[in-house]
Amino acid sequence: MRDYSIPALAEIADSASVADIVFSRAASRPGAIVMRRRSDDGTWRDVTANDFRAEVSALAKGLIAAGIEPGDRVALMSRTRYEWTLADYAILAAGAVTVPVYETSSAEQVEWILGDSGARAAFAETGRHAELIGSVRDRLPGLSSLWQLDGLDELTAGGAQVTDGQLDQRRASRGAADLATIIYTSGTTGRPKGAVATHRNHCTNVLNMRVGAVVSAALANGGEVPAPDPAAPQPGALCTFAMFHIAGINALCGAAYGGGKLVTMYRWDRALARELIRREGLTLASGVPTVMRQLVEDAAADPAPLASLASIGMGAAPIPPELVGRINGTFGQLIAPTNGYGLTETTSAVTTNIGADYLAHPDSVGRLVPTADVLVVDPGSGDPVPDGEIGELWFRGPNVVRGYWNDPVATEAAFTDGWFHSGDLGRVEDGWVYVVDRMKDVVIRGGENIYCAEVEAALFEHPSVADVALVGVPDAVLGEEAVAVVVPGPARCPVRRPPRRCASMWRAGWRRSRCPGTWCSGPIRCPARRPARYSSATCGSP
């Protein structure tokens, strides 16, 4: 087949930096609200563009005074909160590279990510996170500083002698070709790999998001791009994605660039989400299909709190076509459903499906974003397959990362002449991209990657497990649920419930979300150790 591509609609300057978004927004609209911040007493207050620039600048100066140099890696381990966004932009403004760390990561995972990235410093959200990093610090000789997000005053005060001119010089030292983030993403074998994304990668994605917003507005206006209305309420977005996920970073940058205000949630709470949308007059809600389904269910019973919404964006997990139809059935043409397909290696969305197009093609992940190319190849040979036939999806463009940090072997395996091998099987028909299956052994449960080999390795340590395979089965709420199929060993303990030793493993260092939702006892007869079905298995939920 031929490779499909969409031409660029704008050029990214060689001097471009993600941090420029903060400073440009403050210069053009200093009084505009960029975020809503929840205070310690539970109240919410506005953060203007000028306020945010001042806070980012002060913290960036503190980093410079603390010895952070251009290109240094700074880890950021936290749930989604205002200080996450503050620290992220401050790291970039200081010329450094942000290394997001899942807040549920184990000590072993933290040690690997900070050690492999060569992190010079780290931000920890809570005392527990600081203790976790501290427990492996003696094995991280390059880690010179550790700060806690709840106590940034001392770090900020330390930068009082750094001038605005020095900060501007530091920001100017970074350009589009320089690294902005290293986001670690796991595969089915080996340790997590750090996808290295440049400022150009992120800026390209921000511009593509802006194009998507214009398209959504045009679709809602009968196909015509509406003229700007100075009296119109400011658009706003509720982002329920975790900020350490590429989708969360995508939302953070996109809202700031597009002129909207961003509201985030520390943890998902469907009642609070409805209240935030109502009170703030938010026009967009985005998240994994699991949580967006709950919003739609609530709207069916009481649509008033969501009356301001114009779009519901979904991603990070397979989206059932039934959910797309339910959005249309609940809201009609008042809300445009949106889907973005992408990976960490494509710096978030590489295809989008919006509004009426999405309703007409609910089983497609959409068309390519500007500047992107797609090629469908035979997974074995790498040769292109005919149009409409299924093969592995390869992507290329300025939003595709250059490779994996400090891992030339993995980079060579996943990238060919600029084409990224997605590991997803799919097809392209008339420019519409369809994802039909995954080649990788990854179960995506509510947007969270569960890596089968890692779970199996831990289960194999239990004396009652002779053999085990972890598989994903469809789930109406989570997209997929993990099922552990176990052949009992000599100890013969029941496997309808998680073995007790597994519970201790989770407490010691696993993310709880990696717990299989169902345990099956039955023979494993598949040579590939990924059985397609288990006719003699018995199942139970923990």
Domain with residue 468: its CATH number is 3.30.300.30
Cα(54)–Cα(66) distance, rounded to whole angstroms?
Answer: 18
Residue 341 lies in a domain: yes
Residues 6+ apart with CB under 8 A from 354: 212, 215, 216, 219, 336, 337, 338, 339, 366
- Lowest-confidence range among 17-21, 221-225, 371-375, 488-492? 488-492
Which tops the pLDDT comparison, 377 or 252?
Answer: 377
Residue 35, beta-bridge partner list: 47, 262
State both tokens at 79.
């749930």
Same domain as 446, residue 434: no
As a whole number, mean pLDDT of residues 437-460 equals 69
Cα(416)–Cα(422) distance, rounded to whole angstroms?
Answer: 11
Which tops the pLDDT comparison, 418 or 506?
Answer: 418
Domain with residue 126: its CATH number is 3.40.50.980
Residue 27 lies in a domain: no
Residue 94 phi/psi, 5-degree rounding, is: -80, 0
Q: Is the pLDDT of residue 61 over 90?
A: yes
As a whole number, mean pLDDT of residues 246-263 equals 81
Reported as a single tens digit per residue, the pLDDT across 316-352 is: 777 778 788 888 888 876 778 888 899 999 998 899 8
As a whole number, mean pLDDT of residues 512-539 equals 39
Cα(476)–Cα(229) distance, rounded to whole angstroms?
Answer: 41
Q: What is the pLDDT of residue 499?
A: 47
How many residues are listed for the chain in this entry?
Answer: 542
Q: What is the pLDDT of residue 504?
A: 43
Q: Is the pLDDT of residue 456 over 60?
A: yes
As a whole number, mean pLDDT of residues 91-99 equals 98
Residue 201 CB neighbour total at 10 angstroms:
27
Among 438, 470, 492, where does a domain finish? 438
- Report strand pairing: 391-396 vs 419-429: antiparallel
Residues 6+ apart with CB under 8 A from 50: 26, 30, 31
The 3-state DSSP class for residue 414 equals: helix
As a whole number, mean pLDDT of residues 299-325 equals 84
Q: What is the pLDDT of residue 250?
A: 79
Residues 6+ apart with CB under 8 A from 48: 30, 31, 32, 33, 34
Same domain as 492, residue 399: no
Same domain as 251, residue 141: no
From 339, 329, 241, 347, select the one nearest 291 (Cα to Cα): 241
Secondary-structure breakdown of the chain: helix, strand, coil percentages, each rounded to the nearest 5: 35, 25, 40
Reported as a single tens digit per residue, the pLDDT across 360-386 is: 888 899 999 888 999 999 988 999 999
Same domain as 448, residue 424: no
- When pLDDT is cut at 50, 70 and 90, the band that residue 500 belongs to is very low
Cα(201)–Cα(440) distance, rounded to whole angstroms?
Answer: 24
Same domain as 415, residue 314: yes
Q: What is the pLDDT of residue 175?
A: 95
- When pLDDT is cut at 50, 70 and 90, the band that residue 64 belongs to is very high
Residue 515 is which amino acid? C
| Greatest mean pLDDT range, 52-61, 265-274, 427-436 | 52-61
What are 494-502's contacts with CB under 8 Å, separation 24+?
495/464, 495/465, 495/519, 495/520, 495/521, 496/521, 496/538, 496/539, 496/540, 497/540, 497/542, 498/542, 499/459, 499/462, 499/464, 499/465, 501/461, 501/462, 502/458, 502/459, 502/462
Backbone Cα Rg of the chain: 23
The 3-state DSSP class for residue 225 equals: coil
Query: What is the percentage of the chain residues whose pLDDT exceeds 90?
Result: 43
Q: What is the pLDDT of residue 494?
A: 44
Look up the pTM and report it: 0.79
- Lowest-confidence range among 363-377, 400-414, 521-535? 521-535
Q: What is the pLDDT of residue 518?
A: 52
Cα(107)–Cα(456) distance, rounded to whole angstroms?
Answer: 19
Same domain as 219, residue 89: no
Same domain as 364, residue 267: yes
Same domain as 165, residue 59: yes
Residue 182 lies in a domain: no
- As for how many domains the chain has, the answer is 3
Residue 38 lies in a domain: no
Q: Is the pLDDT of residue 448 over 80?
A: no
Residue 356 lies in a domain: yes
The dihedral sign for the CA sequence 206, 210, 215, 221 = positive
3-class SS string, 281-298: CCCEEEECHHHHHHHHHH
3-class SS string, 164-203: HHHHHHHHHCCCCCCEEEEEEECCCCCCCEEEEEEHHHHH
Q: What is the mean pLDDT of the chain?
A: 83
State both tokens at 525.
């007869």
Which tops the pLDDT comparison, 473 or 451?
Answer: 473
Q: Is the pLDDT of residue 207 over 90?
A: no
Cα(40)–Cα(515) distance, rounded to whole angstroms?
Answer: 33
Cα(361)–Cα(259) distance, rounded to whole angstroms?
Answer: 30
As a whole number, mean pLDDT of residues 278-300 equals 88
Q: Is the pLDDT of residue 93 over 90?
A: yes
Q: What is the pLDDT of residue 255?
A: 76
As a whole number, mean pLDDT of residues 426-439 equals 86
Q: What is the pLDDT of residue 56?
A: 97
Residue 496 lies in a domain: yes
Residue 18 lies in a domain: no
Residue 11 lies in a domain: no
Residue 449, beta-bridge partner list: 444
Which tops the pLDDT comparison, 401 or 226?
Answer: 401
Cα(499)–Cα(519) distance, rounded to whole angstroms?
Answer: 10
- Lowest-confidence range among 25-29, 361-365, 486-490? 486-490
- When pLDDT is cut at 50, 70 and 90, the band that residue 217 belongs to is low
C-alpha dist (Å) from residue 159 to 125, 155, 241, 367: 21, 7, 32, 46
Q: Structural domain of residue 521, as residue ranges?
A: 442-540
